[in-house]
Structure 1
Amino acid sequence: MTYLVSYRPQTDDSGVLALACQFARSEPDTVHALTVVPRGWETSAGAATDGEFETWAAEEGEASAKAALEILAREPGITAEATWVTGRSVPAAIMEQATKLNARLIVVGSGTDGPEGRITVSSKTDRLLHSSNVPVVLAPRGYDPAPGSKINRVTLAFRDDDATWKLLDEVAEICKRAGAELRLLTVALKHRTMVTSPVRGDEEVVYAKLLDQVKGAQQEALAHLASRGVEATVDVARGSSWAYALGGVTWTDGDVLIVGSSRTHQLANVFLGSGGAKIVRNSPVPVIVVP
């Protein structure tokens, strides 16, 4: 098995490699940097443009693999390798290599278009999320963990549904093996009401009941984990927007956030529901999206 990293030197974001190394230190495995170079169109045999493109692709691929290995060589205690392939579709090529390498995680970056410290889902990443049957890890733009660091705490976005409860047991086992702390986080949004609304008081009561339900479910989860010998903490992200709610949560170096895929989607792949997608886009720490 391996941690498969989608690496593109032109994005100038080595943080995606550093993030993969954090996982490899927490649960040892090989970090494999993969560059997908565009594949040219079919041309007639012997065409000059065909040969020129193949030469360019090989040069780009070799240079990218070399750059990745140079960066990974600066990471202590990491077993690393780097390769490149050609492909018409970057997500399809990544998935093909993930299957070939028996990848446990696919790690991708946020490119250069989005805000610093936040996750930007590109069109290629979005297609990968819709087709992957392997958990996908998304690194915020400019991610820069401390040298030699590990994953210290795993925060699970806790919904109190069957899918999340199943994921809870899996995450708890991973935390035990990796020696990481476990935290359950539920987002409880408080929708804004017009000042003139006659039902404002009623909505305050409804929100208070929602918080009671959230806390009750979290306490049930804590008791379940304790019965399995796992300690955990809980938190509630409150606010009138996803950004405000997640921004009010305490995050530290070595944190990652886990989000389960949509409970309404019937295929066994990574597919974010609207809530999960908003959590991803507003998270200040790396996010693992799990099928």
Structure 2
Amino acid sequence: MKIDNVLAGAIPEPRGRDGLVLAVLLARQAQARLTVATIQPPVWTAPGPARADQSAWSAYLREQAAATLAQARQLAGDDADCVAQTHRGSGRGLVDLARKLGADVVVIGSAPRGGKGRISVGSTADQLLHSSSVPVLLAPKGYAEAPPPAFARVTLAYRRGRCADAAVKEAAQAAVSLDVPLRLVTLVLSSGRRARIERDMLLRLREQAAADLKAVARGQRRRVQVELEVLEGRNVGHAMSTTQWQPGELIVCASSGTGPLRRVFLGDTSIKIVQAAIRPVMILTRQV
């Protein structure tokens, strides 16, 4: 994927700052244009005495949008474009704005209920992760408190399937844009029992996973430095905990192959990766 135009959703809360800091880091390293947007609910017009209340509410929304964008500009700098958009849903508003601006990625923070350093999917992310026509990048809670100085590596969670090759190409292009290595990891899950039949099965799974990674890496090594790793665990979270994640890591996942074409659609495995991740996660659109 190309990273020439980054769209960040802004809200007057700490989680909004997490997403904005991540978006600024991405735009600066990729030398991309950055647009910061706040999505405001519409004001419904009605005749009679209620009109005065609606006028006051409209003025309040304008003040909120101006204050939110002023705070965002302090972080993003004067080079960022700041816009206010009206929509009934914040996620859908960002989807529409991304389409209008020709954005390459939408960046937001985690929902407030998640633990520090983790990603929780709220209503805005849920709308984006089931309808966005561009990749969606999620910042863990508290990311803005100690952000890395730069991205150091792109890691793609690889899973053999019809969407896999397209995802590898997209992740490789992102790594080239950021001038960092690409790591391809695949997850091998086991029940934790060590019966002989299961040991034999796990051995075959590891060998197949390693062979898959080597095969898919061949076409990318001329473009970017590629690392390969097989992660094994009882479940997705355990498998992901068995490797080292650099402070400047960017995790990339493919959308589900059952979702609509050229849209983000979070599948079961990707949901578990997002929930287990301790670094920002980008969900790609389905390409095939």
The residue type equivalent to 2:206 in the other structure is L
Give the structure 2 partner of residue 240 of structure 1. Answer: 234
CA distance in 2, matches of 1:216, 1:35: 46
Question: Is it true that 1:224 corresponds to 2:219 in the alignment?
Answer: yes
Give the structure 1 partner of residue 20 of structure 2. Answer: 17
Could you report, residue by residue, the CA deviation over 1:189-212 in whole angstroms, capped at 9, with x for unpaired residues?
Answer: 11245x9xxxx3212211111111
Give the structure 2 partner of residue 125 of structure 1. Answer: 125
| CA positional deviation for 1:33 | 1.4
| CA positional deviation for 1:45 | 6.0
| Contact kept? 1:237, 1:246, Cα under 8 Å | yes
Give the structure 2 partner of residue 280 of structure 1. Answer: 274
What RMSD in Å do the two structures reach over aligned CA positions?
2.0
1:67 aligned counterpart, secondary structure:
helix
2:150 aligned counterpart, secondary structure:
coil
| Contact kept? 2:8, 2:36, Cα under 8 Å | yes
CA distance in 2, matches of 1:101, 1:137: 17
What TM-score do you get using the length of structure 2 for normalisation?
A: 0.90
Of residues 271, 274, 277 in structure 1, which corresponds to 2:265?
271
Counterparts in 2 of 1:161 and 1:209: CA distance versus 1, 3 Å: same
Identity of aligned residues (%): 29
Give the structure 2 partner of residue 206 of structure 1. Answer: 201
| Contact kept? 1:13, 1:142, Cα under 8 Å | no
Of residues 70, 77, 87 in structure 1, which corresponds to 2:74?
70
Question: Is it true that 1:7 corresponds to 2:10 in the alignment?
Answer: yes
Give the structure 2 partner of residue 100 of structure 1. Answer: 100
Greater shift, 111-120 or 260-269, is seen at 260-269
What TM-score do you get using the length of structure 1 for normalisation?
A: 0.89
The residue type equivalent to 2:268 in the other structure is S
| Contact kept? 2:148, 2:247, Cα under 8 Å | no
| CA positional deviation for 1:229 | 4.5
Question: Is it true that 1:26 corresponds to 2:21 in the alignment?
Answer: no
CA distance in 2, matches of 1:51, 1:245: 54
The residue type equivalent to 2:61 in the other structure is A
CA distance in 2, matches of 1:59, 1:144: 25
| CA positional deviation for 1:66 | 0.7
| Contact kept? 1:13, 1:111, Cα under 8 Å | no
| CA positional deviation for 1:49 | 1.2
Count of aligned pairs: 281
Structure 1 segments unaligned to the other structure (5+ residues):
none
Structure 2 segments unaligned to the other structure (5+ residues):
none
